[in-house]
Amino acid sequence: MSKVTIAGDVNGTGVFTIAAPNGNTNRTLTLPDATGTVLSTATPGVPIGGPAFSAYANVDQSLTSGVTTKILFGSEIFDTNGDFASSRFTPTVAGYYQLNSTVRTAGTSVTLFAWYFFKNGVTYSTPVQTPTSTSASQSIAGSDLIYMNGATDYVEIYATVVGTSPIMNWSSDNITSTFSGTLIRSAT
C-alpha cells in the first residue's frame, strides 16, 4: 500500500494548508506517478482540456485573381470542444491561441500570393506574402498567437492570388491546405 507523507522544510516558516471544498460532495485527488509540479484544471492559466482543432480543405476552390477570398476548410480531423464550424474557429474559452495555417495554390503568371488571419471579419495579420512569377503550385504556411475573448471572437483564413486561373488547394487532401489551433494559456 502506498503512503502519503507531508514533510515541512526545516528552514521555512510558511504554512501549507489543505482545505476541503465548501460542499457536501466527497472529492478524491489522484496524483500522477510523475515528478515535478502537479497542475490541475483549476490552476490559473493552465489550459488542461482546452479547445483544439485541426481542419483541412477537402475540395478545390477557384479564386478570382486579386480578390481576397475566405478559404473553405470543409473537413475536420478533430475538434475537441466543438468550436470549429463553417471554416471559422470561435473558441468558448477566453485565452491566447496558437493558430496555424498552410494554404496551397496554383495558377499561371502568379505575381502575388498571400493569406491572412481574419479576426472578427477584418485582417488581423499576414503571416506570409509571396511575390512570384510562376506557373507552379505553391504552399505557404504561417502561424500567430491571437487572444480570443471566449464569447464573440472568431478567426478565419483568407487568401489573395493575383494571376491567371488561380485555384486554391488544387490537390484535395488533408495536408495541402490546413487550419489548426489550440489554447496555449487561458485568460485567467
With cut-offs at 50, 70 and 90, classify the pLDDT of residue 127: confident
Burial grade of 165 (CB within 10 A; 0-12, 13-18, 19 or more): middle
Report the pLDDT value the prediction gives residue 39, as an integer from 0 to 100.
56
Phi, psi of 130 (to 5 degrees): -120, 110
Domain 52-186 bears CATH identifier 2.60.40.770: no
Report the pLDDT value the prediction gives residue 157, as an integer from 0 to 100.
96
- Sorted by sequence, the CB contacts under 8 Å of residue 75 that are 6+ apart come out as 55, 56, 57, 58, 174
How far, in Å, CA of 54 to CA of 98, rounded? 12
Residue 76 pLDDT > 60: yes
Least confident of 22-31, 120-129, 157-166: 22-31
How far, in Å, CA of 163 to CA of 159, rounded? 13
Ramachandran sector of residue 187 (left: φ over 0; alpha: ψ -120 to 50; beta: rest): alpha
Domain boundaries, the chain: 52-186
| pLDDT, mean of residues 152-163 | 92
The predicted-structure confidence for 95-116, as pLDDT tens digits, reads as follows 999 999 998 887 777 788 888 9
The predicted-structure confidence for 16-75, as pLDDT tens digits, reads as follows 777 777 778 887 766 666 666 665 555 555 556 789 999 999 888 888 888 999 999 999
pTM of the model: 0.73
Question: What is the four-CA torsion angle of 86, 89, 92, 98, rounded to 10 degrees?
Answer: 170
Single-letter amino acid, residue 30: T
